Amino acid sequence: MIDIQSIKQRYGIIGTSPALNRAIEIAVQVATTDLSVLITGESGVGKENFPKIIHEHSARKHNTYIAVNCGAIPEGTIDSELFGHEKGSFTGALEARKGYFEQSDGGTIFLDEVAELPLATQARLLRVLESGEYMRVGSSKTQKTNVRVVAATNVNLVEAVSTGRFREDLYYRLNTVPIQVPALRDRKSDILLLFKKFALDFSAKYNMPSISLTPEAEIAIQEYRFPGNVRQLKNMVEQISIIESDRLISVEVLERYIPKEEQTNALQLFNNGKHQEMADKSFERELIFKFLAEMQKDINDLKLQVSHIGQTGVPLSVAPMSETKSIVFGNAKSEVKDIPYENVELADYEEGSAEEVKTEELSLQKNEKEMIRRALEKNNGKRKDAAKDLGISERTLYRKLIEFGLNK
């Protein structure tokens, strides 16, 4: 059985996302074979960890492991770097040189940004994958190598094949076992874990107190898409740790570290949440006003009845109080009298009824607290699901939990 947690600790991988766990499982399972592996995922997701997992869990772990960034090597020298060259094969070739495939014989070679390889080099690489054969630049002698190839790219290779930028046969040869590393926005639950880990790391590195986020900032940072993924989040945490004197980071401070061109959409969902909260509050106030108006009308009707009976001994001929009906708070309900309120305004309240109105308001708060408590119990404490059942935003629910002391 694969111990995912120990692998994460060994390679410094943070997160509990099922997609991330699945990628690790595939890497460990394929490690015992010699199959080629293609690792895909956006820039900054941490693809570089997976070739190490594959190499160090394979029979080749005691042999050479070489990582090559194909995008960082000039096109004119890439063949020499990978396959070596003979003395005098080109200007500046003062002596023969072994290439990476020769140096890593018996081990593993990791070709990062493999989509950046020129088409001629792709043809050479295909030959190595198919037969283990290659030739140094400037040589006609065929050499053999026994190398496990793991490649990675953030490019859509299917699209690159269709446009002629990548060889189709090489794509299928590399893609024997695919591993997809999820983007950070696809594992939002890991963002706060990564933030806290990086904050502690930089606290120790720079000998300063660790930064933390306000509840609103925690919600906001999880809504940001992070186009640069884990790398961008790490850089952001480092910048904030060094620059900000206040160690509790608010939404406003967080926005300073988002590139200007991304701010329009960066916290859009968070701002939508603010608007939703305002709508929730307005809706709540409207319901409370209606409830209090109806209760006040009941009280006034009772007063008239008592006064009329006291004076005449005969009940006043008025329409009977109607049956109770449900008034909705979100998706939860509270029972109130079904009395018309179209013409009722706040000015209708009498000064003498202030204490009664206050009592009813407290009762309303008690009912609201009970509805929230039941919604949380129903959803096993999951605030997102509870807020959905109540018909309010998660931010509003969080505020109510604090207000009613239910956040403990």
Give the confidence band of 361 by pLDDT, cuts at 50, 70, 90.
low
Which helix H or strand E contains 326, and what residues bound it?
Answer: strand 324-329
pLDDT at 335 over 50: no
Q: Measured between alpha carbons, how far is residue 379 from residues 31, 277, 331, 367, 407 in Å?
A: 41, 21, 14, 19, 15
pLDDT for res 386: 82
Residue 368: CB atoms within 10 Å: 21
Mean pLDDT score, 118-127: 96
Nearest to 107 by CA among 62, 67, 69, 144: 62
Considering just the CA atoms, what is the radius of gyration of the chain in Å? Answer: 34
Query: What is the share, in percent, of the chain residues with pLDDT greater than 90?
Result: 59
Q: How many CA atoms lie within 13 A of 399 on its CB side?
A: 12
Show the domains of the chain with their CATH numbers: 4-182 (3.40.50.300), 186-266 (1.10.8.60), 288-404 (no CATH)
| SS3 state at 137 | strand
pLDDT at 108 over 60: yes
Q: Give me 315's structure tokens.
A: 């009940």
Give all strands (DSSP E) within 113-176, no chain letters: 133-135, 142-144, 148-153
Residue 206: CB atoms within 10 Å: 11
Give the confidence band of 210 by pLDDT, cuts at 50, 70, 90.
very high
Q: What is the amino acid identity at position 132?
A: G
pLDDT for res 194: 97
Say what the pTM is.
Answer: 0.64
